[in-house]
Homo-oligomer: A and B are copies of this chain.
Amino acid sequence: MKFIILKENLNKGLNIVSRVTGKNSTLPILNNILIDAQKNFLNLSATDLELGIKYWSLIKTEKEGKITIPAKILSSFINLLPEDKIYFELKNQIFNINCQSYQTKIKGLSAEDFPIIPKIENNNFIQLDCQTFCKGLSQVVDFASQNQTTKPELSGVYLNFGKDTLSLTTTDSFRLAEKILFFEEKNNQELSLIIPQRSVREIINILSEKEGKLRFYFSTHQVLFEYFMSETDHPEIQLISRLIDGDYPDYQEIIPKKYEIQTLLSKEDFLNHVKTASIFSGKTNEIKIIVKKDGIEILSQNPEFGENKSFLSAQVKYASVGIKEMEVSFNYRFLIDGLLNIKGPEVIFELNGEGGPAVLKPKDDTSYIYIVMPIKST
């Protein structure tokens, strides 16, 4: 193997694929990146067996070949080189690197020992706008369950492709978030699947700044996201994730169809009042919301330190005349998490009694909903 590449291009690729390396200590070769020079492309690959990443860059290949190299050493080293051409040559499993006055040798491991990243044989794909998709994922990804043992299906993001919409959903049983994306053209492949939370985080990290379209391929156990080089028909990045087996619960049942009290609040003010109250919440993180006729009162107290009370003006609507005041307790972290994912200056906050699910959603936007269960009074 012998090729020439610009430092900038190689650096970009290494930053992307090395995100999945170094997370598996039982199989040392997973700390390595597979480097494969063929025709006029360099292909970098890495995997943690759950998520595989491939990256292609145009190069000048003098001799084809492949090798695996420790990701950490290679990335930190290339990152420090001057912005110039880098000359690579493989001699007896030793990767020789020359750039300006630098002469470097890195020991490789045979490409034969590198695990195969699965391919997807299905040629059908669904096309998505890359930034819209990533932005949608980022509004729900945090709320997948951290418990992968008892209910593994809740530990991922649920994608449900319908004719007109793609809905993205997560829940950890305490709260649930759903974001709906609308297709520009009708989608004729209805399907649903669950992607592990960590894979989704990497999709967001790697692709959220990319403009243009993303192609989505799927099989029974894997999903592939493919991003193309601008102005070519060659892929630039592929992310291949395993899927989580299992049936996602029928969460539509949990989304309240009505409310007892609806309030319209300034998002920033609500966030500040909740944060301030949180300082005096106890170990349960409990703060109390009391809805009055012209706003909400936020209360918290801690026998050790003290207490806090504040009032925030709001537009308040009651579902029936019988309802006057309502007291509901929440884990303040769950309220903050939801508020941080609401776009726009105003938030609708709907309550359904001291035990019923509460709803946070943006004003004038039905595409996002965040549901949070109260702390039941003891």
Contact = CB atoms under 8 A, between A and B. Distances in A.
B309 A70 contact: no
A76 B312 contact: no
Given A310-B101, A311-B101, A312-B101, A107 B305 contact: yes
A352 to B, nearest CB: 26
Of the listed residues A101, A106, A107, the one surrounded by the most CB atoms of chain B closer than 10 A to its CB is A101
Interface in A303-345: 304-312
A279 B69 CA distance: 14
Contact of A305 (B73, B101, B309, B312): B73
B106 A272 contact: no
A95 B305 CA distance: 10
Contacts of A101: 310-312
A104 interface: yes
Contacts of A305: 70, 73, 106-107
B104 A308 contact: yes
A94 interface: yes
Given A70-B305, A105-B306, A306-B105, A275 B94 contact: no
B73 A104 contact: no
Contacts of A308: 77, 102-105
A276 interface: yes
Interface in A79-112: 80-82, 94-95, 101-107
Interface string A15-51: 0000000000000000000000000000000000000
A167 to B, nearest CB: 35
B306 A80 contact: no
Copies of this chain, tallied across the complex: 2
A274 to B, nearest CB: 10
Nearest to A108: B306
A200 to B, nearest CB: 32
Nearest to A96: B306
Contact of A279 (B76, B82, B94, B312): B76
B276 A81 contact: yes
Interface in A252-292: 272, 275-276, 279-280
B276 A309 contact: no
Contacts of A77: 276, 279-280, 308
Interface in A158-187: none
A310 B102 contact: yes
A80 B272 contact: yes
Contacts of A82: 272
Given A101-B312, A311-B101, A306 B73 contact: yes
Interface string A49-86: 00000000000000000000010010011001110000
A288 to B, nearest CB: 14
Contact of A306 (B76, B94, B279, B309): B94
Contacts of A106: 305-306
Contact of A107 (B94, B104, B107, B306): B306
A61 B351 CA distance: 44
Given A94-B306, A107-B305, A276 B102 contact: yes
Contacts of A304: 107
A316 to B, nearest CB: 16
Nearest to A304: B107
21 contacts: A70-B305, A73-B305, A73-B306, A76-B279, A77-B276, A77-B279, A77-B280, A77-B308, A80-B275, A80-B276, A80-B279, A81-B276, A101-B310, A101-B311, A101-B312, A102-B276, A102-B308, A103-B309, A104-B280, A104-B309, A105-B308
